[in-house]
Amino acid sequence: AQSVTQPDIHITVSEGASLELRCNYSYGATPYLFWYVQSPGQGLQLLLKYFSGDTLVQGIKGFEAEFKRSQSSFNLRKPSVHWSDAAEYFCAALNYGGSQGNLIFGKGTKLSVKP
Amino acid sequence: NAGVTQTPKFQVLKTGQSMTLQCAQDMNHNSMYWYRQDPGMGLRLIYYSASEGTTDKGEVPNGYNVSRLNKREFSLRLESAAPSQTSVYFCASLGWSYNEQFFGPGTRLTVL
């Protein structure tokens, strides 16, 4: 079955430190991959997406993600975390092979930022 | 463009009551989705509609029904609410060329 795994439920980093959130996918083919962010009580905002081509993808708010086919991973990174980055982050994959374009989400990683 | 809108924002029901969550999008998208979000579970697909007049079950459809009223609107109905349906519900529509799913702001539902 297709799945998206985020191994870390909760991560705490200090403000100004670098960040890497992990995401692994299990698919028959390379899916379209996404990272969403959700602030408390809010909806989901798209940070970045990968379809094909350059494996390093730039997103909004200074985030980037790298697709590694050999590791079935799509990890999210930020060089220097700001307190406002505290939120929950979801990795998702879209099965473009079907006609319905379902999104399959990981269970999320909650990011806390220490001052 | 309002994007994807959902009503209501909050709702409290008693067990056994019914209600309909409304969703509309003004982007002329074909596909629309209903997800529920529970702590530690991420978002799980309840139902989706690939086009007007069609609906299909997702991962967790039990206890729900949907209607794709027209291209713009996709409603989710709870016929007899249960406490296990306490959740945050998100509606989404799929952009052209599978670019991105656009999410509504969510409906926070509590069933007592």
A31: preceding bond cis by omega (within 30 degrees): no
pLDDT digits (tens, 9 = 90+) for A75-91: 999 999 999 999 999 99
Question: Hey, which residues 35-54 in chain A have their CB within 8 Å of chain B?
Answer: 36, 42-44, 46, 49
How many Å lie between the alpha carbon of B14 and the closest alpha carbon of chain A? Answer: 23
| Phi/psi at A48 (5° precision) | -165, 170
Q: What is the DSSP letter of A103?
A: E
Q: What is the pLDDT of residues B34-60, one digit of tens each?
A: 999 998 888 999 999 988 989 999 889
The secondary structure of chain A in percent helix, strand, coil, rounded to multiples of 5, reads 10, 50, 40
Q: CB contact, 8 Å: B88 with chain A?
A: no
d(CA B4, CA A108): 22
* Distance between CA atoms of residues A43 and B88, nearest Å: 10
Cα–Cα distance for residue pair A75/A57, rounded to 1 Å? 10
